[in-house]
Amino acid sequence: MSLLQQFRLSILLLALALLASISYQVIGITIDSNGMLNEPFGLIPLAWLCLFSAIFSAAVTLFRRDILKR
């Protein structure tokens, strides 16, 4: 099994984290005429969740790969 296939979930989650972070920056923060702050706040925790999930997934994959080598 190739390295890319083993880490496909980690790579996908990392890509989602980067996409959420970039989307947050591109959408930006605005203040409307009533003084209300408009920002895509939900993208911040989504990016962190995807990032930590990618790290955890990669660690589990490395651990399983090491166990299967023995």
Task: Please give the single-letter amino acid code of residue 57.
Answer: S
Structure tokens at 17: 């984290």
Position 5 scores a pLDDT of 87
- How confident is the chain (70 residues) per 10-residue block, as mean pLDDT? 87 97 95 93 96 96 85
What is the pTM for the complete model shown? 0.85
Contacts of 55 by beta carbon, 8 Å cutoff, 6+ apart: 10
Nearest-CA neighbor of 59 among 13, 16, 17?
Answer: 13
Position 18 scores a pLDDT of 98
Position 70 scores a pLDDT of 73
Listed in order, strand segments (DSSP E) in 1-70 are 30-31, 37-38
Structure tokens at 33: 């005429």
